[in-house]
A and B are shown apart, each in its own frame.
Chain A
């Protein structure tokens, strides 16, 4: 498994994410100047998916755990918000912790079973749990079943209707993305993160120094589930709608695509990947409803010729320039 982690230049590893976050922070200004409400909503969506992609990259890029049921965590987070709202509980300080906890508990239980298996079997068993969550959601006839559930307004914060203002919502999501990013970075740099990365490289060497990676992997899996659940809660607030389609296996596939597109094993790569995916989808789908005819081959080309994704591409550009100097 190719790791883009080996690239030197720690300075660039800080510059690129900083530039990304600065660009996000400037969007509301840009949207205000051009009077473009769509731009801000669209970038909010990008940041929400960036949170989810980040959580997947955390276990995929650093723990080599290919979760093919990651969309389930998003759906569980979203349904927590939707079901609470349906029950009259629109307080965000209740809904968000519930969403995160629900996704975390689901991750803990399914992770404990899935982590007994390896490789392809892990991919398939996470897919199975994802499908179970998906079919559970389709059977929730009290909450819309197949058709999904419309949420009447965003969550309140301490009873105040803060999030319905698009700009406030934007900054809240941006802050959450930043917090998740920093948290993942800190975890990966910690002793815990070193064990996780070591387990990816060689389990037998880890065993030789007396460490059983199971607990570390399970904890990482649960953390990723919780972050994805947070993303789901934001997504429910953003679209004011929840549906089983959030958990379909195609969605999990798309999340993996985002991580790979951005460059696996670099957290900011996941953010870039989410942005690139949604931008491509948005722009191509405006050209033609058959945009997938172009997007499918694009994916294949990226896999065949652009290993390391966008981050790898940016790094090689930089490296090339340095050689020219």
Chain B
């Protein structure tokens, strides 16, 4: 494992972490404020990618596709909230899991009908399609760097919004004690709609950013959704700071694990066995991490609720 490979994989890990954070941010706030388990949050990510591909067709511009895709993702999110989710807030988690599972089935299949099952690609913008020389013998695509930067900027904006604005204060208060905020005369449902729409848009944004790298395909949000849940559970439900740190940890652990687990296992096991165990261990690492964190800190690393 050379230093260059380590550097590249660390950057890739950061990039996955950023994508995860963009998805997990909305998920954790929705969860924290309304105590609502939204399994369908992953399809927002997928919708973002598909909508951007759709808008790229007529406009031919990545930036137009990005902008229109985000607006469309916001509209889709608000529509889902209005049609389905708002009827589920007072239900128990099981009902929410089931209904949002139904939403996943529907949207995944609807996307297949509308765009087919084959992956679709979104070309990256010309100005971001080159490579940087990061160090000797190490070329790294500009687009991936741009993605990391864009994600960090969004994270910073989100941080300012949540910790230094009035609406952010209400969101934080809602995450620690929603009934109390409602009792103080705040319309918690309206607050929630804002949070939900914003979260859906962030997930869509992540999907659009990911589309030029991984292409858009049905079900692409499902695995990231599970990862995002791992992130918010490790980070502590409702905590943006927790989600950010957990997303970076998960992104790095997952990416570095996949590149180096086999080599590390080879130190203790014969190569044939290591080739079997390594990849499995790499896939499991984050789940092992999550089980470990929950075992020692049953409400995550940065629990929001006081009591």
Q: How far is the CA of A264 from the CA of B91 in the complex (A)?
A: 14
Q: How far is the CA of A227 from the CA of B84 in the complex (A)?
A: 35
Question: What does DSSP make chain A's interface, helix, strand, loop or mixed?
Answer: helix
Q: How far is the CA of A302 from the CA of B88 in the complex (A)?
A: 12
Q: How far is the CA of A303 from the CA of B40 in the complex (A)?
A: 15
Q: How far is the CA of A259 from the CA of B230 in the complex (A)?
A: 25
Question: What does DSSP make chain B's interface, helix, strand, loop or mixed?
Answer: helix
Query: How near does chain A come to B270, taking the closest CB pair, in angstroms?
Result: 14
B299 within 8 A of A: yes
Query: How near does chain B come to A215, taking the closest CB pair, in angstroms?
Result: 18
Is A256 a contact of B280 with CB atoms below 8 Å?
no
Given A1-B92, A124-B229, A128-B230: A299 touches B294 (CB 8 Å cut-off): no
Type the 1/0 row for A111-148, where 1 means its CB is closer than 8 Å to any CB of B: 00100111111011101110110011011111000000
Is A300 a contact of B291 with CB atoms below 8 Å?
no
Determine the chain A residues whose CB is within 8 A of the CB of B88 once the complex forms. 303-304
Type the 1/0 row for B96-140, where 1 means its CB is closer than 8 Å to any CB of A: 011101111111111011000000000000000000000000000
Determine the chain B residues whose CB is within 8 A of the CB of A140 once the complex forms. 276
Is A296 a contact of B103 with CB atoms below 8 Å?
yes
Given A124-B233, A138-B280: A300 touches B102 (CB 8 Å cut-off): yes
A297 within 8 A of B: yes
Determine the chain A residues whose CB is within 8 A of the CB of B97 once the complex forms. 66, 68, 123, 253, 256
Q: How far is the CA of A116 from the CA of B300 in the complex (A)?
A: 13
**Within residues 173 to 226 of chain B, which ones have a CB less than 8 A from any CB in chain A?**
222, 226
Q: Which residue of B is nearest A260, CB measured?
A: B98
Determine the chain B residues whose CB is within 8 A of the CB of A121 once the complex forms. 233, 294, 298-300
A295 within 8 A of B: yes
Type the 1/0 row for A134-170, where 1 means its CB is closer than 8 Å to any CB of B: 0110111110000000000000000000000000000
Q: How far is the CA of A141 from the CA of B273 in the complex (A)?
A: 10
Is B94 a contact of A299 with CB atoms below 8 Å?
no
Determine the chain A residues whose CB is within 8 A of the CB of B229 once the complex forms. 124, 127
B87 within 8 A of A: yes
Given A124-B290, A125-B290: A300 touches B103 (CB 8 Å cut-off): yes
Is B101 a contact of A253 with CB atoms below 8 Å?
yes
Point out the residue from B92, B109, B300 that lies within 8 Å of A292, measured CB to CB.
B109
Q: How far is the CA of A290 from the CA of B99 in the complex (A)?
A: 19
Is A141 a contact of B106 with CB atoms below 8 Å?
no
Is A299 a contact of B287 with CB atoms below 8 Å?
no
**Within residues 269 to 307 of chain A, which ones have a CB less than 8 A from any CB in chain B?**
290-293, 295-300, 302-304, 307
Given A127-B226, A260-B94: A300 touches B284 (CB 8 Å cut-off): no
Is A116 a contact of B226 with CB atoms below 8 Å?
no
Determine the chain A residues whose CB is within 8 A of the CB of B299 once the complex forms. 121
Given A290-B113, A293-B109, A300-B84: A128 touches B290 (CB 8 Å cut-off): yes
Known: A131-B284, A303-B98. 10 other contacts (CB 8 A): A1-B94, A121-B294, A124-B230, A124-B294, A127-B229, A128-B230, A256-B94, A256-B97, A256-B101, A292-B109
Give 6 nearest A-B pairs by CB, closest first. Answer: A296-B106, A139-B280, A299-B102, A296-B105, A135-B283, A292-B109
- 18 CB < 8 A contacts A-B: A1-B94, A66-B93, A121-B233, A121-B299, A121-B300, A124-B290, A125-B290, A129-B291, A131-B287, A139-B276, A257-B101, A260-B94, A290-B112, A296-B104, A296-B107, A298-B102, A300-B102, A303-B98
B residues sitting closer than 8 Å to A (CB atoms) are: 31, 37, 39, 84, 87-88, 91-95, 97-99, 101-110, 112-113, 222, 226, 229-230, 233, 237, 276-277, 279-280, 283-284, 287-288, 290-291, 294-295, 298-300
